[in-house]
Amino acid sequence: MRTPAKDIGLAIIGGGRVGLFRGEVANRHPAVKWIGVAEKNPNRAGEVAPRIGADFVTQSHVELLKRPEVTCVIIATDEHLHVDPIMVAVERGIPMLIEKPLATDLAQSARVLKAITDAKLDAVVGYTQRFRRKWLGAKEKVRTGALGDVTLVTSRAFMNRLVAIDNYKRTDDPSTISPMVISGTHALDIVMWYMEHKTPVECYARSVDNVLGPLYGGIDATAGMIMFSDGSVYHLNISWALPVTWPGAVYSLEVGINGTDGVLTIDDTHRDMVLAVSKPQEEGYAPDRTRLVDFMGSYPPGDMALGELRGPMADETVSWLNRIALDLPTQAATAAEAHRNLMLTKALDLSAKTRQPVKLPLDPERAAA
């Protein structure tokens, strides 16, 4: 006999692009019976609420999470504002989908993880790339041993500087923002997911800051290596300081996986679909209207088609709602995996700053010092 679906009362904290995307998907899900949104900007709230069918709107996440209708929550605020709503949700004891990262500070991330773990809550983190079919296909080949024992993985991520500029403009502390922590973490999560049975023991990295450093006190690019206890190596690099005219809407990624019995290369640069237009497009992700060439599909959430978002973020949201309503398993990143990802990116940034290898795992106190 089929297990009946549980009704969902969904709270959405943050009405930005991601809150809107996920809210529109949730509004179409048959188990979702009630939606509330907390958004500090009343004008933005007034725009988002009708589009997601919100039953309740407030500027306070505390007020929203006190509502008796709420049975689960999506936390979609700016990266540096996750901690407070997570802790309130922990007090309520409700399941969470949290946009990455748990926090931008490693000690705060450890505090959040402990609270979630102690409360035995179901909390997953929005590493949306796990829901792209090509990454799922590669995961299966690694998982089933088609490549043998994985010995070396490489990843290269390219981004134009628009996301970096947006992040640096939205923070008062640029030291908490870096290409590794904010964006390199997506490639790192995929690779660490593939290498989930291996233990990282040391990392080494270098960074450059010729473009974003003088303007924002930021970092342009970081390249590094993570070494594992069994001798395998992960070599990774990311630049988010490419010129604005670089046609990736956001993310262009290449990964190579070498094993004792095989090799797998993955092109996720999105150069297979190139859009060139003579005037700005009104639909889709367009952070700079002067850009008239795009690699379609390079915006990580997906693309607009027939009036709605299609792609990994929609798939991830439906999967999570099914997880809540039907207790179905998903491949979503756990809170523990998200904390590990932050730890590794912070360790790479620390190595680049000190120009010394960093032993893993990185202690939050050393990261702060």
Q: Where are the domains of the chain?
A: 8-129+319-333, 133-300+342-352
Model confidence band, residue 283 (pLDDT cutoffs 50, 70, 90)? low
Give the tens place of pLDDT for each residue, 295-338. 999 988 888 888 888 899 999 999 999 999 999 999 999 999 99
User: What's the average model confidence in pLDDT over 199-228?
Assistant: 97
CATH class, range 8-129+319-333: alpha beta
Can you give the pTM of this predicted structure?
A: 0.94
Give the tens place of pLDDT for each residue, 115-136. 999 999 999 999 999 999 999 9
Residue 103: name the closest of 369, 314, 355, 368 by CA: 368
pLDDT of 156 > 90? The answer is: yes
CATH class, range 133-300+342-352: alpha beta
Calculate the average pLDDT of the chain: 94
The pLDDT value given to residue 290 = 83
